[in-house]
Structure 1
């Protein structure tokens, strides 16, 4: 679904592959592979595209909200992996004018994950380990049960201070940041939310 959603978002923004490449700092060949469905993106690639196209990550990955009881087994969800981090998308929640994405986040032992920023508000709750968080020069250390929230458009980083850190990542967006908010006449099924 990334191929379809990426093409749609790029077209809605009026961007050529060359311009998207320039803004995202992702090679044109890589973007062409992603749009043809043959690429395998890293988490950095997906976050960069989300930032440049100003859409929620799940609008690029395409998730469908479940009806009734939903169980997500760890082994059934392929993680998005990147520099020092693995994210498993678990759920997309739409409520009023807000959209939330829930992820199981692991920062690998001794690793650091840097982000230039992306749309939304980021919320993290540490489950295990010690997590260093830096946002615009402000640094905090979190332990199990601790929470941090911040404007995700600001450059930020996560560092596992010792062992691997397990946490819950919640990304919050305004409904008008959704990809389909700009394409109300898309055919049915084309704007379904994360995984079908």
Structure 2
């Protein structure tokens, strides 16, 4: 199943669960109704920003938009997985694992390049992010508490306020776990 097909199915499911029309969801997410209509029809190529706006408007973790049946084991080798690119930067993210039913967490691998900061809007209230740098150096966190991290460094910070991720070496790989409130 393609990523856009997963998004289409999950978007319709979560929008229906929330009892929202396409117009109401579009207004909440600050998007055009036609954009949402195309996504529910499995058309288009949404950016990270579009998907985050939809997830925030639905009050669900980002990973819910890629929800699939969960096998007992999953193997994602380096360089594999569906990349999701951010608008205006070279950041790409790969959703490695979305939370199982009843869980509200996602796990990502971020591949960052120097000069391409990713500024993230606040996620739902109570969201916590856990960042672990595996290679390179990165500057991560809320604007008033940015931390310079190297390989093996871990940083836990509130994801419910605006924050950013930026490579301060040529490239950096960061593993990010996001915990969402129940």
Query: Partner of 2:137 in structure 1?
Result: 130
Query: Partner of 1:70 in structure 2?
Result: 74
Cα distance change, pair 87–142 in 1 and its aligned pair in 2 (3 A): same
Partner SS, residue 169 of structure 1: strand
The Cα of 1:17 is off from its aligned counterpart by 2.1
The Cα of 1:82 is off from its aligned counterpart by 0.8
**Where in structure 1 are there 5+ consecutive unaligned residues?**
177-196
Are residues 1:118 and 2:123 paired? yes
Cα distance change, pair 115–147 in 1 and its aligned pair in 2 (3 A): same
Matches within 5 A, 1:162-173: 162-173=169-180
**Would the aligned equivalents of 1:126 and 1:144 in 2 still touch at CA under 8 Å?**
yes
**Would the aligned equivalents of 2:67 and 2:98 in 1 still touch at CA under 8 Å?**
no
Query: Partner of 2:106 in structure 1?
Result: 101
Partner SS, residue 130 of structure 1: strand
Q: Which has the higher contact order (CA 8 A, sep 6+)?
A: 1
Are residues 1:139 and 2:143 paired? no
Aligned Cα root-mean-square deviation (Å):
2.1
The Cα of 1:136 is off from its aligned counterpart by 5.0
Q: How big is each residue's C-alpha offset from its partner over 1:32-90, in whole Å with a ceiling of 9 and x where there is no partner? A: 111111121111111121111111122111133321x4321345412111133211122
Query: Partner of 2:21 in structure 1?
Result: 16
- Number of equivalent positions: 173
Q: TM-score, normalised by structure 1?
A: 0.78
The Cα of 1:19 is off from its aligned counterpart by 2.5
**Where in structure 2 are there 5+ consecutive unaligned residues?**
1-5
Q: TM-score, normalised by structure 2?
A: 0.83
The Cα of 1:124 is off from its aligned counterpart by 0.8
> What is the rounded CA distance, in whole Å, between the counterparts of 2:68 and 2:12 in structure 1?
17
Are residues 1:41 and 2:57 paired? no
Cα distance change, pair 31–155 in 1 and its aligned pair in 2 (3 A): same
**Would the aligned equivalents of 1:65 and 1:92 in 2 still touch at CA under 8 Å?**
no
Q: 1:80 aligns with which of 63, 76, 84?
A: 84
